[in-house]
């Protein structure tokens, strides 16, 4: 395995892609390929989630940011978590926005883009994303972006595995800041109101700033951007690259990680299916089921 890792580290993208697929399919645990565990870095980030509603312009924005950062000499990789939702018809790779950074011969050596299909994955998607990101870092990628749709628990947890979270919003739709979005906005280290070329972007930025001001401490900055028209991109690229972790968002993020790991331990427990059967048959109740699943240590989870 270390041979393969060596090849991936020295720039063999085919080998790297193959190992990423193995991690994605659950055939390879990242601890088996990585020399050491990465320590958590609080002052600068390696992984950044770019999250927001479908169609809000995340991919176009990420492409613009990758152009900026790779242009400065950074090696930037994108993991795009494909929601594969029946609602959006499951955006396939081919439907994706064309990434101009990948086609640009001046920078494409420093750019890597990879989709993660969640439909086929049996494991915990957030933890797969985390492992794939850790592997990319081991392969020398300096900044890992994780594009994920910010609705639903699993997607929130995909974002929560990142060192920083950027929430992308669209222009105001006249319904203010809804409660359903609170969970996502709570995790934000910064908010970008995108499609700033359209009416209502300024207004929505104002609504968000007001709503954060009501919360009190430690409000994230709210910037206006348009990936398509290039508005605010240079400013955003600078702000994001040096983005500090906000204490408030860190707490929410750690909560999501803790809950995610806890769920993984239950689900990977050797008796998980047996315990589910027991619950269906009424052999025992939830309390007893939890006792059984939390009792034994599960080596895969540790
Ligand atoms: N007017 C305007 N349109 C934009 C802007 N950025 C993206 N779009 C358009 O919005 C649509 C969605 O853009 P994407 O970048 O694919 O959005 P996304 O958030 O990645 O979408 P999903 O990955 O499907 O969730 C495309 O048709 C883009 O051309 C912008 O700044 N202004
Ligand atoms: Mg996208």
Number of domains in the chain: 2
Contacts of 127 (CB under 8 A, 6+ apart): 161, 260, 261, 264
In a domain, 5, yes or no: no
Per-residue tokens: 143: 């900044």
Q: 41: how many CB neighbours lie within 10 A of its CB?
A: 11
Q: Is residue 132 lining ligand 1, measured as CB closer than 6 Å?
A: no
Residues 226 and 132 in one domain: yes
Residues 230 and 290 in one domain: no
pLDDT tops 50 at residue 93: no
In a domain, 59, yes or no: yes
Residues 53 and 169 in one domain: yes
Per-residue tokens: 278: 């027991």
Q: Is residue 5 lining ligand 1, measured as CB closer than 6 Å?
A: no
Instruction: Give just the sign of the alpha carbon dihedral 222, 170, 117, 5.
Output: negative
Residues 232 and 280 in one domain: no
Q: Is residue 171 lining ligand 1, measured as CB closer than 6 Å?
A: no
- The predicted pLDDT at position 165 comes to 93
What is the chain's Cα-based Rg? 20
In a 13 Å sphere around the CA of 250, the CA atoms on its Cβ side amount to: 12
Residues 284 and 221 in one domain: no
What whole-number distance in Å separates Cα of residue 262 and Cα of residue 111?
Answer: 34
What whole-number distance in Å separates Cα of residue 290 and Cα of residue 227?
Answer: 47
What whole-number distance in Å separates Cα of residue 260 and Cα of residue 302?
Answer: 13
DSSP, residue by residue, 154-191: HHHHHHHTSSEEEEEE-S--SS-S-GGGHHHHHT-SEE
For a substitution probing ligand 1, which of 228, 230, 231 has the most ligand atoms within 8 Å of its CB? 228
In a 13 Å sphere around the CA of 252, the CA atoms on its Cβ side amount to: 20
- The predicted pLDDT at position 186 comes to 87
pLDDT tops 90 at residue 301: no
The pocket of ion ligand 2, defined by CB under 5 A, consists of 58-59
**Section 75-87 average pLDDT:** 76
Q: What is the number of H-type helices and E-type strands within the chain?
A: 13, 7
pLDDT tops 50 at residue 166: yes
Contact indicator for 185, 177 with CB cutoff of 8 Å: yes
Average pLDDT over all residues of the chain: 85
In a domain, 25, yes or no: no
With left for phi above 0 and alpha for psi between -120 and 50, is residue 195 left, alpha or beta?
Answer: left
Task: Give long-range contacts, CB 8 A cutoff, 24+ apart: 241-244.
Answer: 241/69, 241/143, 242/44, 243/45, 243/48, 243/164, 243/166, 243/189, 243/190, 244/43, 244/189
Task: Place 36 in a pLDDT band, splitting at 50, 70 and 90.
Answer: low
Residues 214 and 294 in one domain: no
Residues 160 and 232 in one domain: yes
Tell me, what CATH number does 171's domain have? 3.40.50.300
Task: Place 71 in a pLDDT band, splitting at 50, 70 and 90.
Answer: very high
- The predicted pLDDT at position 248 comes to 81
- Which residues span the domain enclosing 219? 41-249
């Amino acid at each position: 395995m270390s041979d393969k890792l060596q090849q991936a580290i020295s720039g063999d993208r085919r080998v790297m892609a193959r190992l990423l697929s193995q991690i994605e399919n659950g055939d390879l645990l990242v601890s088996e390929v990585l020399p050491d565990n990465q320590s958590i870095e609080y002052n600068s980030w390696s992984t950044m989630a770019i999250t927001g509603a479908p169609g809000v312009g995340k991919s176009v924005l990420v492409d613009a940011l990758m152009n900026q950062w790779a242009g400065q000499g950074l090696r930037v990789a994108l993991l795009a978590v494909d929601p594969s939702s029946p609602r959006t018809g499951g955006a396939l790779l081919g439907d994706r926005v064309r990434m101009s950074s990948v086609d640009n011969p001046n920078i494409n050596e420093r750019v890597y883009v990879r989709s993660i299909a969640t439909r086929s994955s049996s494991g915990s998607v957030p933890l797969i994303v985390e492992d794939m990101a850790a592997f990319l870092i081991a392969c020398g990628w300096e900044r890992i972006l994780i594009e994920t749709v910010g609705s639903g628990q699993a997607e929130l947890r995909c974002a929560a595995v990142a060192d920083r979270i950027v929430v992308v919003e669209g222009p105001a739709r006249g319904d203010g800041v809804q409660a359903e979005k609170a969970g996502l906005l709570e995790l934000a280290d910064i908010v970008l109101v995108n499609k700033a070329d359209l009416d209502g972007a300024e207004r929505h930025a104002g609504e968000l700033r007001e709503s954060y001001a009501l919360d009190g401490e430690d409000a994230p900055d709210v910037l206006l951007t348009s990936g398509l028209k290039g508005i605010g991109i240079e400013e955003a690229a600078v702000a994001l690259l040096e983005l500090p972790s906000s204490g408030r968002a860190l707490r929410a993020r750690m909560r999501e990680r803790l809950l995610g790991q806890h769920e993984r331990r239950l689900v990977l427990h050797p008796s998980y299916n047996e315990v589910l059967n027991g619950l269906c048959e009424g052999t025992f109740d939830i309390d007893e089921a939890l006792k059984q699943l939390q009792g034994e240590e599960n080596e895969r989870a540790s």
